[in-house]
Structure 1
Amino acid sequence: MACFDWENGAVTGVSSNLRVVEIGSAAATSYCARLFADFGADVQKIEPPAGDPLRYFAPLTPMGQSAWFAFLNFNKSSTIIDPAAPNAIARLTAMIENCDILIDGRDVDPADCPSIDVAAIRKRRSRLIYLQASWFGREGPYAGFAATDTTIRALAGLIKLVGPVEGPPLHAPDFQTGILGGLWGFIAAASSAVAQIEGEAGPSWSVSIFESSLVVSEYLMFEAFARGEVVHRIGINRFWPVFPGGIYETKKGWLGVTTFTPAQWRAFCDMLGLSGLRDNPALVLGEERLKHIERIERQFVPRLKARTAQEWFAEGLKRRIPMVPVPDTSDLLLDTEKRARGAIVPVVLGQEEGRTAGSMQRLTLTPPRRGGKVPAPGEQQSFAGSRERQSLAASRTLRSIGAGRQPLRGIRVIDFTMGWAGPLCTRTLADLGADVIKIESTQYPDWWRGVDRRPAYVDAQMYERAQAFCIMNRNKRGITLDLTQPQGLALAKRLLVGADVVVDNYSVDVLPKLGLGYDVLRTLNPRLVVLSMSAFGAKSLYRDCRAYGSTLEQGSGLPNVVGNAAGPPVMSHVAFGDAVGGLNGCAAVLVALFHARKTGLGQFIDLAQIECMMPFVAPWITVHSIGGMPPPRYGTRHPQFVPHGCFRCVGEDSWVMIAASDENMWQRLAILIGRSDWAIDASLRSAEARRGIEDEIESAIEAWTITRDADQAMSELQAERIAAGVARQPTDLLKDPHLRSRAFLQDIERAFIGMHPQPSIPIRDGSLPFAIRTAAPTLGEHNSEILSELLGLSETEIAQLALEGIIGTSMVSEGN
């Protein structure tokens, strides 16, 4: 028997006094509940006599158990309730009335859950936090659509831009929307748990899995809006606006490369001895280099084959180039650092023992459990030393609040973040009501304002027109402080004394070198929650590696399960890792805030963003750890659903994703495409039987789709309750009828760019999204407001700070 650390956090776990009930069957709700279990909550999973349908979802272990179900459900208990039993409703109602959080996936799959009146229960139990997940939300044109993970991702703009130019678009296996939706659901429920410590009643949350997935594509959505450009698929491992920004073959192994800034491009060219490319003024920015892809690749691709991926990685570290070897599953399992950190943990599935992805919320004072056991149907798990449960708000008079109330109002966050991941974390906290103060400097502002530091760009204040910056920094206040100067550092420390949370996503040594390491911060403010969102972790061997979201995906192992068997590892999205890191960072902050509000003790969170990508590979890690076989690549096909794929429609680069997820859906599809003989053929009832004629089935489907517009094909398929989704461009989502009907896009006025759309968060307390209160700050916009109101400085003192360059409202150009 392997040595497991299952009980880590059971006695002192942050959530050890929480009871969670999970009903229905959805990957999103299962993952949300597992995140609570990671920190000690008693999670009761309600299953029908046949078990959760996800118990049968591929990939399967050698003994036929679902590795996907295992990842989603270890450390939970299972309760079997037969809906036909006379006491089923009363039994389930009693369990819910005695819990703190109800997580409901019935809109995705009811899983034979007894019918219960949640509204009536909530009237009796006002403290109950209720989270309901659905594919699309309960209102809107798509509300009744049949869906799968890939049809959702197609509609969310996450598939069309991936793969060969000629198509079909490629995509990762089915382990993405459930993780994204689960993280958003956890953020909703955990923020309410924080608020409930202050005596607030439990809200009724809803989370749209479709809208949850847009967090990955919103960057391209709004960049396209700002530029008026339509981005096209430009080949495997090629993405706008970064080049090179893909995966390349070396002498041994594959290497992930990202050259975003001009300095990184010059260093890359120097490393390869390509001075002609380095010194070409027409190739300074990635967008400029994209116009010459073939010519540039002809020069550097052969040179990369002169050394191994590991050798190039070492060279990249010296030159501060974001490069990383692309591991396969066996590499991940042999990675001692990931095992030591708890990124890969032991898991028991009945008689089988393997490995899976652990919790990515690396709290240091109240760490998560490391590994665990997957419950058999009906199995109760107990953890030695668990405390007697006490209701979240048992000792307080609950305050009734209206829908849409901000659960994090009154919490102050000091934001030392740049780019995407860190600002998304703090934006989410701000959207939920926190007072987020973003600290930049005129010398080094957020690089998402633009990496072009040439005088023409700066003098025209183009850094105030960056759409990406605006969507990631709304609802925040902005101040500039030169932290390299004693006065600037002293002012930052004074702000930190009155704060609840600090977030940074710099390299691990930046804040400590400035005199703002955790040893200093906890002395200033013992209740402070400090989140460090570095790429590899504060003490990692790779802590000095430069990284972007693309680097995180390249180094996570995910590309090795995407694409065709004979092809290279395939990136699924150029900066997927940023969005995922941001959501995990927010989730970690909420867990630590929950603890701080109960105990008065802050703590350090050592989040490694590369580890946050590992849940997307978790099932393959488990299967490989038990059976020793590397994961197969399916291209656009599926290990469980036949047929499944992206099919060409009428028009240029027009595609629709189709999946037959059960026998009845297959029969309806066969009839719709004119093959009634297949529908009545008993020998084709199982997916495995159909796999023998998969080529023929796909040809018949494409003969049908090629005569139809993609939206028409989706409409006809959905009318027959067949899972289908148009492969959308990210920019298409700006006019998506479903998003418009749900007011997902909100128009906001801002200086320099005027009225522009912003995405809502996908979690709602009521029928409407949380309102976006303020636009992103211009550089130093709130200097006077913050320095006078929070720190008590006079107008004269503030003017002197500006005169000395400690604060300012204009970016300093290169060379100044």
Structure 2
Amino acid sequence: MTKIETSGQLALTGIRVLEIGTGSALAYAGKLFADFGAEVIKVEDGDGDELRHLPPLLNNAGQAPQSALNVWLGTNKRSVTLRGQSIEEHAWLSRLAMSCDVVLDARALREGVEILGHPVCRRSGDTASAKLPIEVYLTWFGESGPYSQFVGSDAVCRALAGAVHGSGAVEGPPHLPHDLQTGIVAGLAAFSSAVAALLGESDGSRRYVLSIHETAFTVVEMEAGMVQDGRHPLARLGVNRFCTTHPGGIYPTKNGWIGLFAHTLPQWSTLCAAIGRPEFANDPRFVSGPTRISHADEIDAFLQPALLTRTASEWFELLGSAKFPAVLVPTMAELLAQKVHRERAAFVPIESGASRFEGVGVPFPLGDAGPLRGGVAAQKGAHSEHYRSEAALACAAGRTRAAEGLQPLRKMRVIDLTMGWAGPLAARTLADFGAEVIKVEGTQYPDWWRGTHFTEEFYRDRLYEKNSNFALMNRNKLGVTLDLTHADGRALFLELVKSADMVIENYSTEVLPKLGLDYASLRKVNDRLVMVSMPAFGIGNEWSGVRAYGGTLEQASGLPHHTGFAQNPPSLTSYAYGDPIGGVSAGAAALLALLVQARTGHGRHVNLSQVECMLPLAAPFLIEQSLNGSTRGRQGNLHPVFAPHGIYRCAGDDAWLVVSVVNDVQWKSLATVVMAAELGLDAALWGVTARRAQREEIDAAITAWTSRRPAEEAMRLLQRAGVSAGVVKPIWDVLDDPHLRGRGFFRKVRRAHLGEYLATTPWFRESQEPLEICRVAPTLGEHSREVFSRVTGLTAGQVDALESSGITGTVATRKRA
């Protein structure tokens, strides 16, 4: 890999990327490349990307209305327009692709997976020695399996992945988020795949195929573990009801909204004292999260009036000072004004023609390596002539295809100091691409996803080895234990760091500095070390000490103001949304930081804010606020462009179907299938605007049809007619989904103490077969002896001494008083 100097060079300078196809996943992956300095060539057909129609719209003089959201996604890219579908045009496009380092291809989302058999990258006689680019293909459901021929959409993929059913009122319908939220997750996955391949480019190029359906499952993977452990309620609990604890929602105050999460008993006691009801702190009904959720109405009866006595800002200050997980739940106007985000440049200027507005910055702060702070979106086709010149089509030589199964990160070592969901998910991403990830826990301070109720049973029956969530998040890792509060433990940890490429951690911001293990200290033993830290609001600002869970991050992003229905309060999803978003974002940032390290030879500290990682999901609403000075309220399950689009009741208990009609052809097919052919033949309804105006009549016709059929049958009938539709599957049904089972996305594995369970496989594939799980999650300290011997050179006797002094071990021990 060619090295670059650290003179303000952006991370991806010198990389050429072809972005071809449609959809927000593709556009966001390309944006990440462009905002870090890559030459991104966005190729559109004559009609342009469908994203150009998404509101809010810009109305520049002399130009067709343009989507501000698409402009944000298109900053710093080059724009090229296809000239039809001639043989000559395909040959030119293939030459352009062969001139690139990376091809991001989402044509399958519109043309079907058959397009994967006809890749845009084709060698001809005069380019036989040209280098093969890295190829990342986006599909709705992958190349194989029962759904592979389905007509997809972001909403349908999300519903079939189990990431819709759990949110919303008990009686339904469930909540359907903005399509961009699925696109952001899939875009991060595509970007991560390409960057991992760039890290391993000395092996040759790689081809990865991603399923948006499977990436969507990432956001609810925690619930898959809960189902297997018998801890899931197997029901939708209602608006702002979180299945593992209460209170875990959003409440009105004297002025503004406050987000609360009380998981532990000390947190609950703190909240009771703050609202002047200390008598409830040790009430047997409320001693744990699971018991409190069963008494949620009783709790809200005294909690809600108490919260109305102070403003949200006052509660945030009061509860924050007591280390209670509480945050402001800002509107978009309030969010744009928040100082902590302004200081971190979370909002950036965007330009298109004469229009100016603020968008969300890429939340990966790599210092002089980027990202760019804002930018300009090119006019459609502005660079078409340039990329048709012979000079622009010149191909580099020398890269062949890497052997399948050769992991791109196999020569890298990562020290994993993370706990819970977000951090372990980020580290797991690196492990799935082949990095040697060494997870460090303490026998007295194990990963809290092993369990937080430290009862006699917890230690006696090794319950800390029987949590499926921990097993899901920590596959492909080695596990060691070290007491970092002890000098000898810290010394051995530093020995591990000496040979590491990266340390990733998600401790509270004060922990590592107190231990003398902050980045400045670690860099003294390894000056090329990359470190990724990922607290809620980042390090070094007035909110750095805020305690947070995944739901807290979602609350602080302002996203709940645009989730759900107008008659309800700002609404959370039913899962800890901020955790998986923070995890996939931190994984992408870590890969990019490793690439910069490989190119420059220098390390850096990536000071990530997990709340900022949530902001791209809120981009449509933030942009609307910046442009118009206001936003529309919660829109329920309406789509900003597609119609009809929503969730429809089916025959059976709590059975629902997503229908997402993306064009007039699908509309006519839908109308025919639901026996409302007269609607399909009505020319007045051939446009989206007209159908939105007749929404109630159309929805009634669809509901009359779906309510007489099981959801699976309705989905099959509509899919057979070419209409994008999908069952709103609860997570416990997703585990038995015939498509995911047929593709081998779930694998039965066995682990000590836990027994057999369903594990997931990585969301990227080199072929139609899933990647193998190299090792199941480690038991506590399982690999301590092997790692300490191989990496640090300790003898068996030295490890015995560490065990006898309690610095390492394989059995959880009680915390010292």
With structure 1 as the length reference, what TM-score do the two structures score? 0.94
Residue in structure 1 matched with residue 496 of structure 2 by the alignment: 495
Residue in structure 2 matched with residue 581 of structure 1 by the alignment: 582
The answer to whether the 8 A contact 2:537-2:611 is kept is yes
The answer to whether the 8 A contact 1:454-1:814 is kept is no
* CA offset digits 1:103-129 (Å, max 9, x no partner): 101001259x99865354797544410
Specify which of 255, 260, 267 is matched with residue 257 of structure 1.
260
Residue in structure 1 matched with residue 243 of structure 2 by the alignment: 240
Residue in structure 1 matched with residue 388 of structure 2 by the alignment: none
Question: Aligned-pair distance for 1:681?
Answer: 1.0
- Which residue identity lines up with residue 57 of structure 2 in the other structure? L
SS at match of 1:524: coil
* CA offset digits 1:764-797 (Å, max 9, x no partner): 1122121111111111111211112211112221
CA distance in 1, matches of 2:427, 2:684: 54
The answer to whether the 8 A contact 1:26-1:106 is kept is no
SS at match of 1:690: helix
Residue in structure 2 matched with residue 217 of structure 1 by the alignment: 220
* CA offset digits 1:150-196 (Å, max 9, x no partner): 12111111111111111111122221111111101111100010111
Residue in structure 1 matched with residue 147 of structure 2 by the alignment: 142
CA distance in 2, matches of 1:91, 1:697: 45
CA distance in 2, matches of 1:692, 1:220: 38
Residue in structure 1 matched with residue 415 of structure 2 by the alignment: 414
Cα distance change of structure 1 residues 86 and 147 upon mapping to structure 2, 3 Å threshold: closer
SS at match of 1:436: strand
The answer to whether the 8 A contact 2:94-2:122 is kept is no
Q: Which segment is superposed worse, 629-638 or 309-318?
A: 629-638
CA distance in 2, matches of 1:641, 1:28: 17
Say whether residues 1:190 and 2:187 are aligned partners: no
The answer to whether the 8 A contact 2:131-2:395 is kept is no
SS at match of 1:176: helix
The answer to whether the 8 A contact 2:740-2:746 is kept is yes
- Which residue identity lines up with residue 176 of structure 2 in the other structure? H
CA distance in 2, matches of 1:615, 1:304: 30
Alignment of 1:793-808 (within 5 A): 793-808=794-809
Residue in structure 2 matched with residue 314 of structure 1 by the alignment: 317
Residue in structure 1 matched with residue 21 of structure 2 by the alignment: 24
Residue in structure 2 matched with residue 227 of structure 1 by the alignment: 230
The answer to whether the 8 A contact 1:59-1:639 is kept is no
Q: Which segment is superposed worse, 338-347 or 41-50?
A: 338-347
Q: Which segment is superposed worse, 754-763 or 89-98?
A: 89-98
The answer to whether the 8 A contact 2:331-2:561 is kept is yes
CA distance in 1, matches of 2:459, 2:480: 18
Residue in structure 2 matched with residue 461 of structure 1 by the alignment: 462
The answer to whether the 8 A contact 1:560-1:569 is kept is yes
The answer to whether the 8 A contact 1:65-1:349 is kept is no
SS at match of 1:629: coil
CA distance in 2, matches of 1:697, 1:377: 35
* CA offset digits 1:724-746 (Å, max 9, x no partner): 11111111111101101111011
Cα distance change of structure 1 residues 674 and 389 upon mapping to structure 2, 3 Å threshold: closer
Alignment of 1:609-624 (within 5 A): 609-624=610-625
The answer to whether the 8 A contact 1:156-1:730 is kept is yes
Question: Aligned-pair distance for 1:640?
Answer: 1.5
Say whether residues 1:47 and 2:48 are aligned partners: no
Residue in structure 2 matched with residue 747 of structure 1 by the alignment: 748
Say whether residues 1:286 and 2:289 are aligned partners: yes
Question: Aligned-pair distance for 1:53?
Answer: 2.0
Residue in structure 2 matched with residue 5 of structure 1 by the alignment: none
Q: Which segment is superposed worse, 645-654 or 170-179?
A: 170-179
Specify which of 295, 302, 306 is matched with residue 303 of structure 1.
306
CA distance in 2, matches of 1:658, 1:186: 29
Cα distance change of structure 1 residues 487 and 228 upon mapping to structure 2, 3 Å threshold: closer
- Which residue identity lines up with residue 760 of structure 2 in the other structure? P
Question: Aligned-pair distance for 1:628?
Answer: 1.4
Cα distance change of structure 1 residues 568 and 233 upon mapping to structure 2, 3 Å threshold: same
- Which residue identity lines up with residue 25 of structure 1 in the other structure? T
Cα distance change of structure 1 residues 123 and 570 upon mapping to structure 2, 3 Å threshold: farther
CA distance in 2, matches of 1:609, 1:603: 18
Residue in structure 2 matched with residue 173 of structure 1 by the alignment: 178
CA distance in 1, matches of 2:341, 2:353: 25
Cα distance change of structure 1 residues 11 and 511 upon mapping to structure 2, 3 Å threshold: closer
CA distance in 2, matches of 1:84, 1:690: 31
Question: Aligned-pair distance for 1:309?
Answer: 0.8
Q: Which segment is superposed worse, 684-693 or 181-190?
A: 684-693
Question: Aligned-pair distance for 1:86?
Answer: 6.5
Specify which of 145, 159, 164 is matched with residue 164 of structure 2.
159
The answer to whether the 8 A contact 1:237-1:246 is kept is yes
- Which residue identity lines up with residue 333 of structure 2 in the other structure? S
The percentage of aligned residue pairs carrying the same residue is 39
Say whether residues 1:58 and 2:55 are aligned partners: yes
The answer to whether the 8 A contact 1:439-1:481 is kept is yes
CA distance in 2, matches of 1:391, 1:408: 30
CA distance in 1, matches of 2:15, 2:204: 15
Question: Aligned-pair distance for 1:439?
Answer: 0.7
SS at match of 1:170: coil
Cα distance change of structure 1 residues 381 and 501 upon mapping to structure 2, 3 Å threshold: farther
CA distance in 2, matches of 1:381, 1:804: 69
CA distance in 2, matches of 1:505, 1:576: 16
CA distance in 1, matches of 2:809, 2:736: 38
Cα distance change of structure 1 residues 117 and 45 upon mapping to structure 2, 3 Å threshold: closer
Residue in structure 2 matched with residue 15 of structure 1 by the alignment: 12
Alignment of 1:153-552 (within 5 A): 153-196=158-201, 199-227=202-230, 229-380=232-383, 401-552=402-553
The answer to whether the 8 A contact 2:58-2:67 is kept is yes
Question: Aligned-pair distance for 1:242?
Answer: 2.1
The answer to whether the 8 A contact 1:74-1:375 is kept is yes
CA distance in 2, matches of 1:742, 1:77: 37
The answer to whether the 8 A contact 1:154-1:726 is kept is yes
Question: Aligned-pair distance for 1:11?
Answer: 6.0
- Which residue identity lines up with residue 77 of structure 2 in the other structure? K
SS at match of 2:675: coil
CA distance in 2, matches of 1:389, 1:420: 45
* CA offset digits 1:406-454 (Å, max 9, x no partner): 1110100001100000000001111111111111111211110111112
CA distance in 1, matches of 2:227, 2:430: 26
CA distance in 2, matches of 1:11, 1:796: 49
CA distance in 2, matches of 1:24, 1:200: 28
CA distance in 1, matches of 2:393, 2:380: 27
CA distance in 2, matches of 1:148, 1:762: 18
Residue in structure 2 matched with residue 689 of structure 1 by the alignment: 690
CA distance in 2, matches of 1:485, 1:805: 9
The answer to whether the 8 A contact 1:89-1:116 is kept is no
CA distance in 2, matches of 1:202, 1:389: 21
Cα distance change of structure 1 residues 203 and 527 upon mapping to structure 2, 3 Å threshold: same
CA distance in 1, matches of 2:523, 2:261: 35
- Which residue identity lines up with residue 692 of structure 1 in the other structure? A
- Which residue identity lines up with residue 696 of structure 1 in the other structure? E
CA distance in 1, matches of 2:628, 2:811: 59
SS at match of 1:266: helix
* CA offset digits 1:493-522 (Å, max 9, x no partner): 010000000000111221121111111122
SS at match of 1:175: helix
The answer to whether the 8 A contact 1:259-1:322 is kept is yes
- Which residue identity lines up with residue 765 of structure 1 in the other structure? E
The answer to whether the 8 A contact 1:34-1:74 is kept is yes
CA distance in 1, matches of 2:330, 2:120: 48
CA RMSD of aligned residues (A): 2.3
SS at match of 2:198: helix
The answer to whether the 8 A contact 1:17-1:390 is kept is no
CA distance in 2, matches of 1:436, 1:116: 34
